[in-house]
Amino acid sequence: MTATRVLVLNSGSSSVKYQLLDMRKGGRLASGLVERIGERTSRLRHTPLAAGGDTREWTGPIADHGAALKAVAEELARDGLGLDSPELAAIGHRVVHGGKLFTEPTVVDDTVLAEIERLIPVAPLHNPANLTGIRTARALRPDLPQVAVFDTAFHTTMPEAAARYAIDVETADAHRVRRYGFHGTSHAYVSRATAKLLGRTPEEVNVIVLHLGNGASASAVEGGRCVDTSMGLTPLEGLVMGTRSGDVDPAVIFHLARVGGMSIDEIDTLLNKKSGLVGLCGDNDMREIRRRIDEGDVRAKLAFDIYIHRLKKYIGAYYAVLGRVDAVAFTAGVGENAAEVRAAAVAGLETLGLAVDGGLNAVRGDEPRLISPAGARVAVAVVPTDEELEIATQTYALVGRN
């Protein structure tokens, strides 16, 4: 029997998201989430998609990632999809930081694990959890290929002019300070799906991808290769996000330390967790912000305007970086759902060939679609992202041809 299934694991510090896909049939067999790992009220939600069954939910203590994965394995086994199945070809893991070295999905061995560990100082919030996920899965199925798919990989094609900060080269290199970029799996998937929507190959088109979720990033993709992206050393740089500030003058940090008396950790928390939309108006959900704006809320309106202003600046910047733009693609929670954000982001950019058709923009749906007027010079598109499918595809491409 040929093994055609891939389990995709996205391990966070206190959560594990998973999907089981069949790569031959292209279908999703199961998906789920374990949350609040390590607490007394951990929760598992499992949806047996293939069986067409209802979501099963379970609450109780799940001590660690090992216990979480065992619970997931039990749920899968109940649907006849156990991890001991010979049909399972590999486990694909989302790994946030792959540094400069990992330019491709990689089969995990001890050397790869050690390198991901070495990157912890540049990804202290993410890589430890990703590592735990890999180690746990490996212990459960030591015989199975475990593949690491890196958020940074797609961005490793950025030229040095885009990837380097203009700081002392020796200092930067000694501490591996450079722009790595994140959400790469999504940018790769969406840029390719946009080319397909246009009936062209990825090599033929230049695309600006706007991944607007709770975290948000933009990228400039030239003929299928990333040439610039808005996140940097960490996912803090760039666009205004749900709770992250995005770009600020670095001197804001010195000022808050010297004049504001804040510690480095306090400033870190401020910029990562208490800034962005939440810092500006108290809400990070775009639906709630739109509702407040409709009620005349001035702070919500200002937060929205700052969000849009930054987005527009990046569209302009990446237009200049690319020279010729064939498409602008909106994706992720806000990009796929918030028509007002899409309309506002390109408003006034008609001379760049950018516009949205009000009617098309208002249509909701799960499929990639154009929202620019017929005959527009630049296509504006909504392209739902699918990071799990992309991780599974890359994983299977690496190990599945047996």
- Give the catalytic positions in this structure: 151
Which residue's entry shows tokens 């330019």?
Answer: 103
Residue number, nearest CB to ligand ADP: 333
d(CA 312, CA 239): 10
Q: Write the binding mask 231 to 250 for ligand ADP: x where contact by CB under 6 A, - elsewhere.
A: -----------x--------
**32 labelled as ligand-binding?**
no
Four-point Cα dihedral 375, 351, 248, 334, nearest 10: -30
Taking Cα atoms as reference points, which of 243, 242, 271 lies closest to residue 256? 271
**Which lies closer to ligand ADP via its Cβ, residue 70 or residue 290?**
290
Which CA distances in Å does 337 have to 219, 330, 331, 348, 368? 19, 9, 8, 21, 12
> Is residue 266 a contact residue for ligand ADP (CB under 6 A)?
no
For β-strands 225-229 and 216-222, DSSP reports them as antiparallel
Q: Rg of the chain's alpha carbons, rounded to an integer?
A: 21
How big is the CA angle at 394 (ends 385 and 182), to the nearest 5 degrees? 55
Tell me the closest approach of the beta carbon of residue 368 to ligand ADP, in angstroms. Answer: 16
Pairwise CA distance, residues 361 & 346, whole Å: 12
**333 touches ligand ADP (CB under 6 A):** yes
Rank residues 83 and 129 by Cβ distance to ligand ADP and give the closer one.
129
Q: Among residues 287 and 324, whose Cβ is nearest to ligand ADP? A: 287
Q: How far is the CB of 143 from ligand ADP (least distance, A)?
A: 32
Residue 213 annotated as binding? yes
Q: Indicate whether 286 belongs to the interface with ligand ADP (CB under 6 A).
A: yes
Instruction: Say if residue 336 carries a ligand binding annotation.
Output: yes
Q: Are 285 and 291 spatial neighbours (Cβ–Cβ below 8 Å)?
A: no
| From candidates 82, 270, 337, 369, binder to ligand ADP by CB under 6 A | 337
Q: Which of residues 212-231 bind ligand ADP (CB under 6 A)?
A: 213-215
Residues between 155 and 214 that touch ligand ADP (CB under 6 A): 213-214
Is 214 annotated to bind a ligand? Reply is yes
**Based on CB atoms, which residue is closest to ligand ADP, 87 or 285?**
285
Choosing from 284, 361, 393, 394, the residue that interacts with ligand ADP (CB under 6 A) is 284
Q: Is 259 exposed, middle or buried (0-12, 13-18, 19+ CB in 10 A)?
A: exposed
14 is a site residue for ligand ADP (CB under 6 A): no
What is the H or E stretch that residue 268 is in? helix 264-273
- Quote the least distance from Cβ 338 to ligand ADP, whole Å: 4
How far apart are alpha carbons 104 and 107 in whole angstroms?
A: 10
Residues annotated within the binding site are 10, 17, 94, 211-215, 285-287, 333-337, 387
Residues annotated within the binding site for Mg(2+) are 10, 387
The site for ligand ADP (CB under 6 A) is made up of: 213-215, 242, 284-287, 332-334, 337-338
Residues annotated within the binding site for substrate are 94
